[in-house]
Amino acid sequence: MSGEQQRLDSVHQRMALACKMSGRDPSGVTLLAVSKKQAASLVRRFFMLGQTAFGENRVQEALVKQQELADLAIDWHFIGPVQSNKARELAEQFDWVQSVDRVKILQALSRHRPASLPPLNICLQINIDREPQKSGLAPEALPTLAEQAAEAPGIRLRGLMALPRFSHDPEVTRDSFARLRMLYETLREAGHELDTLSMGMSGDLELAIAEGSTMVRVGTDLLGPRAV
């Protein structure tokens, strides 16, 4: 068995076990392979093993990879900070943008999404621990931006994404995930039809699944260490 197959199986097993421990249906959690700083050839090998969704955090790097992999039906997710001068490329080349955190970016993505494509799936990124250096909107700004996203042409609001503050204490991380989930449930109760709670990475996917994650974003434990 190849190293890639082993790592893919191992991540799927971790996800399945985490679902079992919290009484969740494993089909309710999907895997996004984070391919930033990884070679296109490696993405291709994982695609051949059945992994179809890949996440990138830099536009230029992603566009080069997408060209090289244009023959594959990959679902491309953007998960990095969005600059407004890159909104057109994102709107044209990606299936998802998970890191929308301000109205200016939302409107630029909406304006540039080609009418020939299905609506662009987006998540709103929340700065769940209010860290000054991190992207994401403040929790109290969420209801307004969610309304704007729901009304934006060419946009389909799917849910929320966050990167919690790093902690060695699992209870601290779990608390961040729980607060994101509460925001998600509040939006759903307000009538937004959301299906994506994007939280959990290599080191904490089990905690995220226990708190209701529907999409884990895994880089290192799946594709291996990244080039620096």
Our finding on whether 142 is near ligand PLP (CB under 6 A) is no
| φ and ψ at residue 45, rounded to 5 degrees | -65, -40
Smallest separation, CB 163 to ligand PLP (Å): 5
Our finding on whether 218 is near ligand PLP (CB under 6 A) is yes
In DSSP notation, 139-205 reads: GGGHHHHHHHHHH-TTEEEEEEE--PPP-S-HHHHHHHHHHHHHHHHHHHHTT----EEE---TTTH
Contacts with ligand PLP in 81-110 (CB under 6 A)?
none
Smallest separation, CB 116 to ligand PLP (Å): 29
Our finding on whether 53 is near ligand PLP (CB under 6 A) is no
**Token representation of residue 190:** 């307000």
Contact in structure between 195 and 158 (CB atoms under 8 Å): yes
**What is the rounded distance in angstroms from the CA atom of residue 45 to the CA atom of residue 39?**
10
Among 135, 148, 186, 202, binds ligand PLP (CB under 6 A): 202
Beta-strand pair 215-218/30-34? parallel
Among 48, 170, 220, 224, binds ligand PLP (CB under 6 A): 220
Identity of the amino acid at 76? W
Our finding on whether 59 is near ligand PLP (CB under 6 A) is no
Q: Which stretch binds ligand PLP (CB under 6 A): 11-19, 46-54, 65-73, 198-206?
A: 198-206
Smallest separation, CB 34 to ligand PLP (Å): 4
Among 100, 145, 163, 197, binds ligand PLP (CB under 6 A): 163
The helices-and-strands tally (H runs, E runs) of the chain is 9, 8
Among 34, 120, 187, 199, binds ligand PLP (CB under 6 A): 34
Smallest separation, CB 213 to ligand PLP (Å): 12
